[in-house]
Amino acid sequence: MSLIVKIGKKGKQFLKKYILPPAVPSLSYTRRLEQIKTSRRICAMTFDDGPMDLPASPDRFGGRSLTDVLLDTLAEFGAKGTFDVVGDTGENYPDEAGKLGSAAWGGVRYDHYPDIHRDDRGGAVHNDRLIRRMLDEGHQITSHGYRHIIFGKKPFVYGRRVYLGTVDKAVEDLQKLDRLMRERYGYQLTMHRPPHYVDQMQDGFTSYDVCDRMGYQYLAASFDGAGWLPSVLTDPDAALEAEVNAMVEPMRRALEQDPDFFRGQIIFQKDGYNMAKRTPVAFGLRKQLELLREYGYQVVTAQELVKESPFADLGRDDPLFEKLAGLQKERAVVYSDNLLRLDAPMTQGELAMLLCPRAEAMDRRWAAIRRTGKRAHPYSGAMEWCAEQGLLEKGAKPEAPVTALPEGYFLPAADYTRRGVYTAYRA
């Protein structure tokens, strides 16, 4: 089954690249964070699904929990991790385990962490000590959902999985973990990674809308650390060695080809078992950190990475950086893929998103989706508000280019690129 998952993953990548029409990014308050632009050799490492209070497998650490082993290793290298935690999967019953080595090994209808019928040894609810250790040692905690239930249908691999299906159910789930972290630890979550990266829901909303409502950014990753997929080898020792090599060798090759390859990247890892109930991350993480140190990298939290630059295509050396870094906190000026595309012409829909207050843009679009049960244009709420205010002509098309700015905005060189308009905004 693990081979099927690997083939499926490659097939999905092929379809996205060569067959399916490319996804069209739009301006969004929530952006998918994969990599930021920086001249420094810094990167982030994320660890999904924990914390896990069961030993590494095989256990070569005297019974210490896997999460403790990861924290010990990070501390040894002065690295800061980003732990994408779940709340509690103990409510995800009745259920049964799937075949070992398959994606359903820990549950057919739901996910169970760290293992089926061992839910009390995983998640933030049951692991106060581990959560406090993460926070005390300066690591970041992000949300992976309270019950780790996928937001929408995912037919391939997870066709039998129960899914939430609506934005209200997804927000309710995230609010439980958010409330736990605030009330127990005084900690505010700022990022979320949807379970299994399922974005589309059946009520016309997406995971980006969920993050919008929660005030989160979408935490993705640009490099797969590979500690989650099992080897097809049957000998346990040989399989573990192959899994560790799969974590280390791609990183080594990337650095040999380009020593700056990991600048600003977010690396994906797992704080839990792989599908064969092994934990190659307990052994491979050290080797990865040794490689990164050899090339002069510092591993920081995803939040620190975003402080360096919130954007994938604009760094601190750009004259417009400070202005846009401030503007993106209150207006949707960045695309959902975290690119600014400053050289592109500004469109009417993009101008509306710049001029419209966030609450008006979000609430109006949400109301339209709730009325129809269908997706609405991402700029529809902003354009409706701007038309009412006389800032855009009624009937303006969101994709039409901007050829003039409302009264009070000046472009000395009549530059209607996105850079030109942002330079003029509130100048």
Q: Band the pLDDT of 20: cuts 50, 70, 90.
A: very low
Q: Alpha-carbon distance 48 to 56, whole Å?
A: 15
Query: What does the pLDDT average to over 231-253?
Result: 95
The per-residue pLDDT for 387 is 94
pLDDT over 90 (residue 408): no
Q: Within 13 Å and on the Cβ side, how many CA atoms surround 234?
A: 0
Centre a 10 Å sphere on the Cβ of residue 240 and count the other Cβ atoms it contains: 23
pLDDT over 50 (residue 293): yes
Query: Who's near 15: CB < 8 A, 6+ residues apart?
Result: none
The per-residue pLDDT for 4 is 47
3-class DSSP assignment, residue 338? coil
pLDDT over 70 (residue 345): yes
pLDDT over 60 (residue 148): yes
Between 169 and 19, whose confidence is greater? 169
Q: Alpha-carbon distance 356 to 9, whole Å?
A: 39
The per-residue pLDDT for 151 is 98
Q: Band the pLDDT of 347: cuts 50, 70, 90.
A: very high
Q: Alpha-carbon distance 260 to 315, whole Å?
A: 15
Q: Which residues pair with 219 in a beta bridge?
A: 33
91 contacts 266 by C-beta, under 8 angstroms: no
pLDDT over 70 (residue 189): yes
Q: Band the pLDDT of 273: cuts 50, 70, 90.
A: very high
Q: Band the pLDDT of 23: cuts 50, 70, 90.
A: low
Summarize pLDDT for 71-123 with one digit per residue, the tens: 999 999 999 999 999 999 999 999 999 999 889 999 999 999 999 999 999 99
The per-residue pLDDT for 407 is 78
Q: Alpha-carbon distance 316 to 325, whole Å?
A: 10
Q: Alpha-carbon distance 94 to 57, whole Å?
A: 27
284 contacts 7 by C-beta, under 8 angstroms: no
The per-residue pLDDT for 66 is 98
Query: Who's near 128: CB < 8 A, 6+ residues apart?
Result: 184
Q: What average pLDDT does the structure give for the chain?
A: 93
Summarize pLDDT for 24-64 with one digit per residue, the tens: 899 999 999 999 999 999 999 999 999 999 999 999 999 99
Query: What does the pLDDT average to over 302-315?
Result: 98
User: Looking at the chain, which residues constitute the CATH 3.20.20.370 domain(s)?
Assistant: 28-306
46 contacts 81 by C-beta, under 8 angstroms: yes
pLDDT over 80 (residue 175): yes
Tokens of 342: 């400053």
The per-residue pLDDT for 283 is 98
Please say whether the structural domain 28-306 has been given the CATH code 3.20.20.370.
yes
pLDDT over 70 (residue 132): yes
Q: Alpha-carbon distance 389 to 392, whole Å?
A: 8
pLDDT over 90 (residue 214): yes
The per-residue pLDDT for 1 is 42
pTM: 0.94
Q: Band the pLDDT of 395: cuts 50, 70, 90.
A: confident
pLDDT over 90 (residue 406): no
Query: Who's near 143: CB < 8 A, 6+ residues apart?
Result: 84, 85, 174, 177, 178, 189, 191, 192, 193, 214, 216
Centre a 10 Å sphere on the Cβ of residue 315 and count the other Cβ atoms it contains: 16
Q: Alpha-carbon distance 106 to 76, whole Å?
A: 32
Q: Alpha-carbon distance 370 to 209, whole Å?
A: 13
Q: Band the pLDDT of 360: cuts 50, 70, 90.
A: very high
Query: What does the pLDDT average to over 126-136?
Result: 98
